[in-house]
């Protein structure tokens, strides 16, 4: 029986959160935590969708049935299936689609883009659509619009192509880092609210434009310097830049108690650097350090109720596993 399984990495922002909204650069990295999509041929003429992370399964007689009855929170999946069926006249009535993710949802790790890329790639492989990676990313970008309204394109790009990207004013540049970097991603146990965090910066900028612009400019300068240090593999210097970036984000009021607790503990235990990743006000913290330091930190954070995973750069991007 025909079976296809794909995976796509998540992502984290290493440098440049919030400043990127105001035309400063950002650096994003594909991470080794992934989402998967499995498509399997079924003997009965039904379209089945299983969402592992939500412990939910659905069964539809055809695509029209799905369009009418699939819960609206999964419109991203509906859009993908409708789009591909329309353009390629696919038979979707005898397959089972199973989607799962090891990424924390709503935490700044690109879970929705990772799932979108894995799904489009699985459909591409199962039906032999011959879509290039650029087209897979484009479709995932349209899916991201359903979730985020006006996404930058960073997430779908990095989840498709892997490695790192340098993003500034709508343009992407690939960064091929020749060194291995080990990070610890720690979840604050609070979902971030991107809109709330962006609105907070906007309010600060309206209230105190010169001071806020100065802080955002400094984040931009840190990001530009970080590119050079990442290419050089200077871990100590990268860590110091992460800490400076975190201090500026704290001044911009998008950090919180949990983020501060994790970053402070990380530095105390010997990490090179530690900062929030993504919008802030929750979500995740990313910490750079030696693997032994990160292992010890992970164990300590576990006793305090924080989940964490050691990650590295995903260099493959979306991948056909089976």
Per-residue pLDDT tens for 113-127? 999 999 999 999 999
Helix (H, G, I), strand (E, B) or coil at 199: helix
Low-confidence ranges of the chain (pLDDT < 50): none
For the domain that residue 129 is a member of, what is the CATH number? Answer: 3.30.230.10
- Whole-angstrom Cα distance, residue 87 to residue 230? 42
Structurally, the chain folds into a number of domains equal to: 2
Q: How far is CA 207 from the centre of its chain?
A: 31
Same structural domain, 194 and 155: no
- Whole-angstrom Cα distance, residue 66 to residue 81? 10
Same structural domain, 145 and 204: no
Quick one: 149 exposed, middle or buried, by C-beta within 10 A (0-12, 13-18, 19+)?
exposed
Phi, psi of 155 (to 5 degrees): -65, -50
> Residue 112 sits in which domain range?
3-176
For the domain that residue 206 is a member of, what is the CATH number? Answer: 3.30.70.890
- Whole-angstrom Cα distance, residue 122 to residue 18? 33
The model's pTM is 0.92
Same structural domain, 120 and 255: no
* Residue 151 lies inside a defined structural domain of this protein: yes
Q: Give the C-alpha distances (Å, rounded to integers) separating 15 from 82, 150, 159, 254.
A: 36, 20, 17, 14
Q: What digits encode the pLDDT tens for the residues 230-243?
A: 999 999 999 999 99
User: Strand pairing partners for 308?
Assistant: 186
Task: Work out the number of other CB atoms within 10 angstroms of the CB of residue 240.
Answer: 17
User: Which residue among 153, 176, 199 closes a domain?
Assistant: 176
First to last CA, the chain: 13
pLDDT-above-90 percentage for the chain? 84
User: Which residue among 176, 201, 220 closes a domain?
Assistant: 176
Same structural domain, 58 and 200: no
């Amino acid at each position: 029986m025909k079976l296809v399984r794909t995976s796509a990495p998540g992502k984290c922002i290493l440098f440049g959160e919030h400043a990127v909204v105001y035309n400063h650069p950002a650096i994003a990295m594909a991470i080794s935590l992934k989402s998967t999509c499995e498509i399997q041929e079924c003997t009965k003429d039904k379209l089945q969708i299983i969402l592992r992370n939500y412990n939910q399964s659905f069964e539809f007689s055809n695509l029209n049935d799905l369009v009418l009855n699939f819960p609206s929170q999964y419109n991203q999946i509906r859009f993908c299936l409708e789009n591909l069926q329309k353009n390629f006249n696919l038979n979707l009535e005898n397959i089972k689609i199973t989607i799962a993710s090891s990424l924390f949802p709503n935490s700044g790790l690109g879970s929705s883009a990772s799932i979108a890329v894995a799904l489009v790639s699985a459909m591409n492989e199962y039906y032999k659509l011959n879509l290039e990676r650029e087209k897979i990313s484009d479709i995932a970008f349209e899916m991201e619009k359903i979730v985020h309204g006006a996404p930058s394109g960073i997430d779908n790009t990095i989840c498709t192509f892997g490695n790192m990207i340098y993003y500034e004013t709508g343009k992407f540049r690939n960064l091929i880092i020749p060194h291995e970097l080990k990070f610890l991603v720690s979840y604050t146990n609070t979902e971030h609210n991107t809109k709330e965090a962006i609105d907070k910066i906007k309010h600060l900028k309206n209230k105190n434009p010169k001071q806020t612009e100065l802080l955002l400019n400094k984040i931009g300068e840190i990001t530009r310097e970080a590119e050079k240090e990442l290419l050089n593999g200077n871990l100590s210097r990268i860590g110091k830049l992460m800490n400076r970036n975190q201090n500026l984000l704290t001044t911009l009021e998008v950090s919180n108690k949990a983020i501060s607790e994790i970053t402070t503990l990380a530095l105390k235990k010997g990490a090179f650097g530690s900062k929030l990743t993504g919008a802030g006000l929750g979500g995740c913290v990313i910490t750079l350090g030696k693997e032994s330091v990160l292992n010890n930190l992970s164990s300590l954070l576990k006793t305090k109720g924080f989940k964490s995973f050691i990650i590295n750069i995903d260099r493959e991007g979306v991948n056909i596993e089976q």
